Amino acid sequence: MAFQPIVNIRTGQPFAFEALVRGVDGSGAGSVLSRVDDKTRYAFDQKCRVTAIQLAAKLYDPRSSEMLSINFMPNAVYEPRACIRMTLETAEQCQFPLERIIFEFCENERVDPDHLLKILKAYRSMGFKTAIDDFGAGYSGLNLLAQFQPDLVKLDMELIRNIDTDQAKRKVVRHTLAMLTDLGIEPICEGVETAGELEVLQDLGVTLIQGYVLAKPSFERFDRGFNLAA
């Protein structure tokens, strides 16, 4: 399990650390997820949650407001309150505050909208933060936002790529940011890789940034030494 910081570029402090699955040989998430099927999805999802919390409990600074962001698979959740039990038990055992956990899901998996809404509403009622990952690249998009406003939305990295030289992308991102602000949702721009991209996002008023320009994922540790002068 690796962790990549989501940085508040105004304060220079980590807002959260996203837990990212890695193979035993250090291989990326893609090679691991490709081996997950319908039979193993639930067990895999549960294992990832438990491991992320156990590691984060040893790494986070209780004096700070750092959060832990965990990816979950909506199709692995057959009933929200039943499937969250192991997460709750692990957090209690590790004394990791529930209010510091963000559950984010990726739009690239086709999910029944009613089922997804049920999960998100249940998680929020338990005190967790919710987030949509890869916004703008998946299935739900604006329809989901019209029905449920998560705490956070991560703009898909393809919208961010070369935003410093692509005026069309800049306009799309600017209007998307305005919409999210109107809905009371905090945007995160992920996949930021160059100083030029970072500068444009700063000019657009983005506060939360994630990407190689600041810090790469670190295996089983929280990297707080990112370079804001990139």
What confidence tens digit (pLDDT) does each residue in 3-19 have? 999 999 999 999 999 99
Distance between CA atoms of residues 29 and 21, nearest Å: 5
Cα end-to-end distance, the chain, whole Å? 26
Residue 33 has pLDDT above 90, yes or no: no
Range 146-170 average pLDDT: 95
Structure tokens that stand for 144 in this block: 């989901």
Q: Where are the domains of the chain?
A: 2-219
pTM to 2 decimal places: 0.90
Range 69-89 average pLDDT: 86
Helix (H) or strand (E) holding 56: helix 41-59
pLDDT at 45: 85
Distance between CA atoms of residues 219 and 21, nearest Å: 10
**CA-CA-CA-CA torsion sign (39, 50, 121, 191):** negative
CATH architecture of 2-219: Alpha-Beta Barrel (3.20)
Cα distances from 138 to residues 110, 142, 207, 220, 223, in angstroms, run 8, 10, 24, 29, 30
pLDDT tens for residues 106-128? 766 677 888 888 999 999 999 99
Under the banding of pLDDT at 50, 70 and 90, the label for residue 30 is low
- What SS3 state is found at 78? coil
pLDDT at 230: 55
DSSP per-residue letters across 101-148: EEEEEETTS---HHHHHHHHHHHHHTT-EEEEEEETSSSSHHHHHHH-
Residue 180 has pLDDT above 80, yes or no: yes
| Residue 182 bridge partners (DSSP) | none
Distance between CA atoms of residues 138 and 82, nearest Å: 27
Residues with Cβ within 8 Å of 151's Cβ and at least 6 positions away in sequence, in order, are 102, 129, 130, 131, 185, 186
Range 129-139 average pLDDT: 83
Structure tokens that stand for 17 in this block: 């650390």
pLDDT at 150: 94
